[in-house]
Structure 1
Amino acid sequence: MKKLSVKLGIVFFFIIFGLETFMFFFLHSALVDSRVKEEIYALQTRGNSHRAILEMHFDTPTLNHVALMESEADTDVVITDASNKILASSAESQHFYKYFKKQPTSLPRQGRILEENWRKKPFISTVTPIKTDEQVIGYVYMFQDTESVQTLIKRLNDHFLLAGLILVILTFIIIILLSKALTKPLIEMKEATSKISKGNFLVTLPKTGDDELGDLGKSIELLAKELNYLTRERNDFLASISHELRTPLTYIKGYADIVLKRKLSEEENQKYLHIILDETKRLSDLIKDLFELAKIDKNQFVIQKQKINLGEFLAKIDQKLSPAFGEKNMTLHIFCPEDANLFADPLRLEQIIFNLLDNSIKYSPEGARTDLIVSRKKHKVQITISDNGKGIPEEDIPYIFNRFYRVDKSRTRSLGGTGLGLAIVRDLVHAHGGTIEVKSKENSGTEFNLIFRG
């Protein structure tokens, strides 16, 4: 009972068998009732035929002729006068006489059924009045042995039983094939998920169509690809973290050993201590960014949106960053409509813009220009940050939001970046329900478009 195919087969079998049994019972009952009614109707019709003849010739030769005709048939007839005295009979049977004890009254011309209980009684019977000038002159009693009816029903039962057995066998075969057809792709999916759980993400599943099983198979394949990608990303991420942490720690340890073990001049001491301080700051920034990403990944931070006047908000950012731009003789130009508002978390939005403007400062030459433009498009607010710096090669653009990805790896240490800034920016923008787009051309500058719901 552990296999799904067996369970499905048993469930399907009992459901279909139950439906078939109900339908067979209903059909059998309907056919039996129909056949019995046909027999009774035929018996009554035969009595009416005799009545029609006897109404024209109610004499002894005719009575004997009718009785003789029925003696050779499967039915019997008894003809009586108006007082139920027997005038002619096709057979002698004591079972007939109980129907003559009580004289029929108010009989319709088509007659009446006297007995229709074919299961318990030896005969089914009908009675039809014989009339002349609207006066009843006699009665025609028709009898049929119920054994013949039961024989007919028995043949019908045998046919039903044979058909039922054939149908059950066919149903059983169909259910086996159907359950196997249904469970085969499920078994393959189970094997695929077992491979995935063991770290084998290169799984493929046969196409089963556009139904729910097909959708499930596609979802499992997509899951395997995503897990494969995430595993590679995790390994790369861990390798990058290891490298990024090891490098400043190596610098700190090495220069600390030099300061402690060697007798250095004051000038050299200050030089090495500044290097240790710079590497400590780099390590602190890296750990801070890692904590930010961990919070974002675990949804442990809350975006507290409020209405922000972008003009005033960006003026404060300009004030904070103007010294950094001034050091490289760069200029920051902000264009923002006076009525521009945005529902966002001010601290997180500041973090987003700070990171992007910091990249403009790092990757632009002295005297470069950076523009920050706010515009409205229908129900959306777009913040564009563009510069005329060194730009990003086209082949690197799809990867710049990956963690620890750097376009210019040779200048990493001199620029002081952690390689996590754009990853944090992207995740914070998505947390606001927004999107981020990038356009860049090498040696021509870079443009970031932040699009938020207004």
Structure 2
Amino acid sequence: MLRNREIQLFLLTMSFISLAGIIAAAFFSIAASMLVFVISVLLIGCSFIFTSWRYREIEKLSGYLQQISSGDYFLDVRDNHEGELSILKNNIYKVTTMLSEQGSLLQQDKVHLTNAISDISHQLKTPLTSMMMMADLLSDAKLPPVKRREFTHNITIQLERIEWLVSSLLKLSKIDAGTVQFKKEAIAVKKLLQKSLEPLLIPLDIKEQAISIEGDDTVSFVGDFHWTTEAVINILKNCIEHTPAGGEITISFAENALFTEIVIADNGKGIVKEDLPYIFKRFYKGKNASEDSVGIGLAMAHTIITSQNGNIEVKSKQNKGTQFRITFYKQVI
């Protein structure tokens, strides 16, 4: 402490002031001079003790900061006493808590990223391995034309699957990163459903599945038409996939003062009870999922809907079908 230039100047100034007071008091009497001397010594001593205590407290805080910089965020430096140092300690505690929370979030992000990369690698490994084997077989000049066409067709299918997977992951990553700005426009539900069904008419026709739509033409909600169409397409794809040939898919929608609701149901084989809590989890494949399923369509639908002040629920019973209930809540001001 005494090596600090500010403290040296402070003590020197106090000493000069005390010396001047002692000399001035000596003109009156020796007793007055002694009284000024005693008072000066006491004042300088008290100042020295108080300053020494403050330096020790600051040294403790410096030690706390060093521990925090080394990654030890579990330090409680709060002080219930009044004073500037107590305020400083409380502020350090707040910053420590914030850094601890940010550190935990960063660690969670790392775990999620690691899991996502692992899942993506797993999903890409199977089609890539298959294509490598078929490409190797295609290099054989003696391969019959029929087999050559078959392998070429299979490679094309695998490439389309990879393209869809990469495209879906890019869309999800944009939403997760918050770079997607969802539009807030009035969407007519009937128009949304018609647009969503357009790319699915051929699969519906191939499986001879009937589809019925029931609802008032005036029903609407506020959201992003493009992204919501993407979500509904993925839900309808799931229904078509799990509904047998000749099955039926029903869509109904309605609106009230609180929300707009869309219900999509099928009479397919349903979802196993144990799978229900996880069907919106990325890369999760239920027991009834097809071999081509990658478990990302429903996850994307869930992310898009919930990002637009919405909610999606599912009810299902084996061999009795599945029902998806989508709710878009109205914003009450």
Global fold match (TM > 0.5)? yes
Task: Give the equivalent residue in structure 2 for 1:436.
Answer: 311
- Does residue 311 (structure 1) correspond to residue 187 (structure 2)? The answer is no
Say if 2:261 and 2:325, in contact at 8 Å, map to a contact too. Answer: no
- Does residue 345 (structure 1) correspond to residue 224 (structure 2)? The answer is yes
Say if 1:304 and 1:345, in contact at 8 Å, map to a contact too. Answer: yes
Say if 1:392 and 1:446, in contact at 8 Å, map to a contact too. Answer: no
1:426 Cα offset (Å): 3.6
- Does residue 147 (structure 1) correspond to residue 24 (structure 2)? The answer is no
Counterpart secondary structure, 2:328: strand
Say if 2:281 and 2:299, in contact at 8 Å, map to a contact too. Answer: yes
1:351 Cα offset (Å): 0.6
Task: Give the equivalent residue in structure 1 for 2:293.
Answer: 417
Q: Distance in 2 between matches of 1:371 and 1:293?
A: 28
Q: How does 1:54-203 map to 2 (within 5 A)?
A: 147=28, 152=32, 154=33, 157-192=36-71
- Does residue 284 (structure 1) correspond to residue 159 (structure 2)? The answer is no
Counterpart secondary structure, 1:374: strand
Q: Which residue type is aligned with residue 228 of structure 2? A: L
Q: Distance in 1 between matches of 2:53 and 2:215?
A: 72
163-172 or 350-359: which moved more?
Answer: 163-172
Task: Give the equivalent residue in structure 1 for 2:74.
Answer: 205
Q: Distance in 2 between matches of 1:175 and 1:453?
A: 57
Q: 1:174 to 1:422 in 2, by over 3 A?
A: farther
Say if 1:405 and 1:419, in contact at 8 Å, map to a contact too. Answer: yes
Cα distance per residue 1:38-81 (max 9 Å; x no partner) = xxxxxxxxxxxxxxxxxxxxxxxxxxxxxxxxxxxxxxxxxxxx
Counterpart secondary structure, 1:428: helix
1:282 Cα offset (Å): 1.0
Give TM-score scaled by structure 1 length. 0.55
Aligned length, in residue pairs: 306
Q: Distance in 2 between matches of 1:451 and 1:274?
A: 42
Counterpart secondary structure, 2:298: helix
Counterpart secondary structure, 1:261: coil
Question: Radius of gyration: which is bigger?
Answer: 1
- Structure 1: runs of 5+ lacking an equivalent: 1-5, 33-118, 121-145, 194-203
1:386 Cα offset (Å): 4.3
1:255 Cα offset (Å): 1.7
Q: Which residue type is aligned with residue 328 of structure 2? A: I
Q: Distance in 2 between matches of 1:245 and 1:222?
A: 34
Q: 1:161 to 1:209 in 2, by over 3 A?
A: closer
- Does residue 259 (structure 1) correspond to residue 138 (structure 2)? The answer is yes
1:440 Cα offset (Å): 4.0
Task: Give the equivalent residue in structure 1 for 2:83.
Answer: none
Q: Distance in 1 between matches of 2:256 and 2:162?
A: 41
Cα distance per residue 1:224-278 (max 9 Å; x no partner) = 3333332232222222222322322222232233233053444333332321221
Match of 1:229 among 99, 102, 108: 108
Q: Distance in 2 between matches of 1:284 and 1:417?
A: 14
1:379 Cα offset (Å): 4.7
Q: 1:308 to 1:441 in 2, by over 3 A?
A: closer
Q: Hey, which of these two has a bigger chunk of strand by percent?
A: 1
Q: Distance in 2 between matches of 1:206 and 1:182?
A: 11
- Structure 2: runs of 5+ lacking an equivalent: 80-89
Shift >6 Å, 4+ stretches: none
Task: Give the equivalent residue in structure 2 for 1:125.
Answer: none
1:359 Cα offset (Å): 1.7
What RMSD, in angstroms, separates the aligned Cα atoms of the two structures? 3.9
394-403 or 230-239: which moved more?
Answer: 394-403
Q: 1:277 to 1:339 in 2, by over 3 A?
A: same
Give TM-score scaled by structure 2 length. 0.72
Q: Which residue type is aligned with residue 282 of structure 1? A: R
Match of 1:274 among 132, 135, 153: 153
Q: Distance in 2 between matches of 1:442 and 1:354?
A: 22
Q: Which residue type is aligned with residue 419 of structure 1? A: G
